[in-house]
Amino acid sequence: MKKHSALLPYYYLAPALILLGVLCLLPNLYSVYLAFTNYSLYHYSNYEWVGLRNFMRIISGPETRTFVRVFAWTIVWAAGSVLLSQAIGIVLAVLLNNKDLKGSNIYRTLFILPWAIPAFISVMMWQGLLNTEFGAINRILGALGLDSVIVFLCNLCGLDVHTPISWLETPGFAHIAVLAVNVWLAFPFQLTVCLGALQSVPSDVYEAASVDGASPLRQFRCITLPLLRNALLPVLISSSAFNFNQFTAIYLLTYGGPPVPGSEAGATDILITYSYKLGFNLFQYGLACAYAIFIFILVATLSGVNFKMTGAFDEVD
């Protein structure tokens, strides 16, 4: 009877483990196998084992320049999305946590809306707003006269830019656009985390600091940020891992474009969108799986750091 009781948890876990193996583990193992083959549209039924050829093609072959460019933009994309959304979340959380702010519940509801609306709807909405000819962004900038200022500054920097501004067709503006849209999608989550952490801080701490003559800026630097650090660090790491695989914002907004001459990867492609293109547009399945393994290694490394720092897998005494 005692032995049966000890095995009971495994009986309950078995269905989930079986589904995990069938739906996740087996397809991923098959992808790992394909990464070592020349499986593609041209070698569909007669593909062969090629060993590390796909990986060597990426790190020291014809794909190297594309890989370096896409990888560098993926780092900028992930870091920029997380840092900007977290900065906005912290600032808004500090403002909303002010007990003297009237209508704070209304503001909280409004700021949560980008998170509540499905991401693909938000991205398609932004695609319309950023449309070169009919988008509201260019119309607003034109009405305020700011489009001419932006064009002048770009031309001053040696960039050939004209009105109306092509937000999704010009590489530099496309980078700004996808980053801004992703920050729009991400900041409500950061705001919620920061606000929850701030509300757990006793108000007496700030009252004592005010009595001692600490300015609001010093209170933020010496009290708020240190108290938020433990709550934000795991979110910072996990959000970075999530943005490495943030497919929706890039693909639905620009489809990875605009095109880059001499490369299959567009200017805004990150590793996951380029891997998708290789597999489903160019039918180079083996190479796409090799890219997927690189993505897995990066995300697994970030997740490992996260687990180590948060103690998620530590034994409980």
* Residue 175 Cα to chain centre, angstroms: 13
Tell me the C-alpha distance between 32 and 241, whole Å. 20
Tell me the C-alpha distance between 31 and 221, whole Å. 47
| Helices 225-244 and 64-96: angle between axes, nearest 10 degrees | 140
Q: What is the pLDDT of residues 181-236, one digit of tens each?
A: 999 999 999 888 888 888 877 777 777 777 777 777 887 777 777 777 777 877 88
Q: Contact at 8 Å (CB) between 109 and 192?
A: no
Q: Contact at 8 Å (CB) between 291 and 275?
A: yes
Q: Which residues pair with 49 in a beta bridge?
A: 37
**Contact residues for 287 (Cβ-Cβ < 8 A; gap 6+):** 40, 54, 57, 58, 63, 278
Average pLDDT over residues 90-106: 83
Q: What is the pLDDT of residues 250-294, one digit of tens each?
A: 999 999 989 988 888 999 999 999 999 999 888 999 999 999 998
Tell me the C-alpha distance between 224 and 230, whole Å. 11
Q: Minimal CA–CA distance to 111: which of 81, 144, 135, 88?
A: 88
Average pLDDT over residues 130-150: 87
pLDDT above 90 covers a percentage of the chain that reads 21
CATH fold of 38-130+167-296: MetI-like fold (1.10.3720)
Q: Is the pLDDT of residue 316 over 50?
A: no
Average pLDDT over residues 69-90: 91
